[in-house]
Chain A
Amino acid sequence: MTAVAVAPAERPAPREQYPIALAAVLVTVAMLFTAFTSALVIRRTGADWVRIPLPPMVWANTVVLILSSLALERARAAAKGDATSRIADWLGVTAALGVLFLVGQLVAWRQLVGQGILLRTGPHPAFFYMLSAVHGAHVLGGLGALGWTGRRARAGAYGAAQHDGLTHTAVYWHFVGVVWLWLLAVLSTL
């Protein structure tokens, strides 16, 4: 078996390529939810569009998601302050709040079902169920990224000098949070 020697300076530079890939992912996700939003804007012109009151649980869930972003910022602050032992702790808090958000969304669904409002009840609840599910799938992806980042943090990969991976995960997580705020604004006003 032959081997190729590669000069280290030539090898891919992840520090530079991850932001590009992350930007591409964010653009893709943004375009997806833009398409859903424009579909909602068109569909709401139908005579059968009746906006249902969103279950109260979604507001509590929103607070949980915002808190999770704040926890993630605490993890970044710990990294910047070289308090490496606290990075993984705050990442754990972030992930726990993320899981709590998803469980809360399921509770919100149950509240709606309890009121007899199902997917097929009308276009507005259909959009609510669909958008919260698609958003939840992106939160699940974020939880995967948090798990990976947490493992790296426990291995001591992040500190004041280098915490790019943590920042990239934070950018995605905050972005998913902003998407939820956007969806909430659309679903509660249109």
Chain B
Amino acid sequence: MSATAEHAQPGFWRHYVFSTDHKMIGKQYILTAVVMALFATTWSVLLRLHLAWPQAQWPLLGKLFPGLFQDGVLLPERYLSLVTMHGTVMIFFVISISLVSGFGNFVIPLQIGARDMAYPFLNMLSYWTIVPACLIMLASFFAPEGAAGSGWTAYPPLSALPDAAPGSGLGQTLWLFAMALFIASFTMGGLNFVTTILNLRTRGMSMFRMPLTVWTMFIASILGILAFPALTAAAIMLLLDRLGSTSFFLPSGLVMGGTVLPHQGGTPLLFQHLFWFLGHPEVYVLVLPAIGIAFDVVAAHGRRPVFGYRTSVWALVVVAVLSMIVWGHHMFVSGMSPYVGEYFSIATVSITGPFAVLALNLVASLWRAEIRLTSAMMFALAIVAAVGIGGVGGIFLATATSDQYLHNSYFVVGHFHLMIAVVTFFAIFAGIYHWFPKMFGRRMNETLGKAHFWLTVPTTIAGFVTMHFLGMAGEQRHLYDPSAYKFLEPVQWLNVLISILLFIPGAAQFLFLWNFFHSMVAGERVGPNPWQATTLEWTTESPAPHLNWGAELPVAYRGPYDYRLNGAPDGYEPQAAAPSAAALVTS
């Protein structure tokens, strides 16, 4: 094929800052997520310190965070702000932008054999919309009466009335504007992902030859496109309730400061429906890519083809479809016809079917595998464990009768942390250890990686599993001071235990960050394919160059997981390796 068009490499600003290269944009997302994670983790440390020792005074923290503490004690209204901001930032500005936007950007074109995204400029615009979104979200803390405090779900009336609580004022308005920018960015990204995957696959890369990471990014993008507009609509109506004195979500008879408010006829339940129409699919927008990464890492480091590739793809599709019609299980106690509740219960529990297929296929992929226990593989295996443990809790919450008791308790907090925090963070770690060589041309330190694993995985899982027991004992989420309730005294030690368990992985992340940044400059240099993996990204240099490959794009001759082939050199056959003449004759 003759090469006639030349693409010059960009200069410093276009390469590192206003880049249109998908790989740089992917790294920018991941680094932005790291910065936001530092904030969100710090807030969670303050929360856990307070929950474990609610009467203790922390004078040093009071000096470090003068707006949050009074006499060394975390203020109640600031506690709610920290809960809100921790949840919002972690879900949207850490996990979403690293796992989906970050890895999606970096991996998709490389795995499908494309030079870049379909719309590189739109891609850059998408990233540079996230940056002001992050800054506006953080600016919520500088609002005179504090950051948003109505929870990551922003339920009205707390979120709709600027005077309802300290965090309901300017802080909540900034929260809404930041979320609007996030939705705009995520929609642009999803549009780019879908177009790229459908249109820019290289020759031979049929849909059923795509690695499962790409499949999960594809499905997650479609889910985002379908679900996020509902939150956009809800946010616009909420803003009008706040600033335009409308009554979309505000009912009659609300009294504030002894005055009856003029709002009438609105229904907070409407907001909950719109929010959860996004909120539940959002869980799968995050969890599905984690499962995809687990499949890719398990196959490459287990040296075995993925078990049931096609059934996994169809299971992903079924999970995605079901995820769009089960949102009501978040609202069993909000006021719902028992018949509707029964439907939502049955639909939700039915997700366990296709999800079990995915989990069992992951486990079956380990059968007779030649497991290389790298850091990436260890975290991928931890994903399987976390999905299994977290999923069990979901069955109790999906059932309306048991949810009546467990709703809004620490059982829920433990469950969703296991599913959309632990599973996704493990996937982020597995993905970084796995693709780091392709990002930077170097390998991360394996000893530090394994130390990171052992300090992170058992303690995190134990911490969030313990929260389930706290919930069963009756401790409510959002509770500022557990010591205020006599019936919670016998289980307060669990709060102490949880905090200690979770501080360990919190501290261990500095080990990971040191390994990450140190390895960028001093890690062992590697060649194009350090893991002897099959997928297309491993056919180009490490780090992947501008436009990903030289003059010719690779061609996909086979599926993504051809491992353990007796006749093949090294026992595996890269997707891009042309079949030999002998193989063609045999076939």
A contact set with B: CB distance below 8 Å: 1-13, 16-17, 20-21, 24-25, 27-29, 31-32, 34-36, 39, 42-43, 46-49, 119-120, 123, 126, 130, 134
Docked-complex contact A6 and B229, CB < 8 angstroms:
no
Docked-complex contact A28 and B229, CB < 8 angstroms:
yes
Say yes or no for B495: interface residue by CB 8 A criterion: no
Residue of B nearest to A1 (CB): B9
Docked-complex contact B247 and A4, CB < 8 angstroms:
no
Docked-complex contact B225 and A8, CB < 8 angstroms:
no
Residues of B within 8 A of A46 (CB): 265-267
Interface magnitude class on chain B: 35 or more
Say yes or no for B164: interface residue by CB 8 A criterion: no
Q: A21-B195, A39-B274, A46-B265 are in contact. Are A8 and B5 (CB under 8 A)?
A: yes
Docked-complex contact B198 and A20, CB < 8 angstroms:
yes
Report the bound CA distance from A10 to B119 in whole Å.
15
A145 CB to closest chain B CB (Å) equals: 14
Contact of A126 among B5, B225, B247, B262 (CB under 8 A): B247
CB contact list, B246-272 vs A, under 8 A = 246-248, 252, 262, 264-267, 270
Number of residue pairs spanning A and B whose beta carbons lie under 8 angstroms apart? 147
Contact of A17 among B5, B116, B118, B246 (CB under 8 A): B118
CB contact list, B24-77 vs A, under 8 A = none
Report the bound CA distance from A186 to B220 in whole Å.
32
Contact of B191 among A1, A6, A25, A120 (CB under 8 A): A25
Residues of B within 8 A of A7 (CB): 1-5, 551-553
Residues of A within 8 A of B119 (CB): 21
Residues of A within 8 A of B262 (CB): 120
Docked-complex contact B6 and A3, CB < 8 angstroms:
yes
Docked-complex contact A16 and B199, CB < 8 angstroms:
yes
Residue of A nearest to B120 (CB): A12
Docked-complex contact B246 and A126, CB < 8 angstroms:
yes
Contact of B265 among A12, A39, A47 (CB under 8 A): A47
Residue of A nearest to B547 (CB): A4
Residues of B within 8 A of A35 (CB): 229-230, 232-234, 274, 277
Q: A20-B195, A21-B195, A36-B233 are in contact. Are A5 and B5 (CB under 8 A)?
A: yes
B contact set with A: CB distance below 8 Å: 1-9, 11, 115-116, 118-119, 187, 190-191, 194-195, 198-200, 225-230, 232-234, 236-237, 240, 244-248, 252, 262, 264-267, 270, 273-274, 277, 545-547, 550-553
| Across the A-B interface, the 5 shortest Cβ-Cβ residue pairs | A5-B3, A48-B265, A46-B265, A32-B229, A35-B233
Q: Given contact pairs A7-B5, A43-B270, enumerate 12 new A-B contacts (beta carbons under 8 Å).
A: A1-B8, A5-B3, A7-B3, A7-B551, A35-B229, A35-B230, A39-B237, A48-B247, A120-B244, A120-B246, A120-B247, A123-B246
Residues of B within 8 A of A27 (CB): 225-226
Contact of B553 among A10, A25, A36 (CB under 8 A): A10
Report the bound CA distance from A25 to B553 in whole Å.
29
A138 CB to closest chain B CB (Å) equals: 12
Q: A21-B191, A35-B230 are in contact. Are A130 and B240 (CB under 8 A)?
A: yes
A-B contact pairs, 18 of them (CB 8 A): A5-B5, A6-B7, A7-B5, A7-B553, A12-B118, A17-B198, A17-B200, A24-B195, A31-B229, A35-B230, A35-B277, A39-B233, A39-B248, A42-B273, A48-B264, A123-B246, A123-B266, A130-B240
Residues of A within 8 A of B236 (CB): 130, 134
Max chain A Cβ within 10 angstroms of own Cβ: one of B6, B116, B190, B230 = B230
Docked-complex contact A6 and B195, CB < 8 angstroms:
no
Residues of A within 8 A of B551 (CB): 4-7
Docked-complex contact A119 and B240, CB < 8 angstroms:
yes
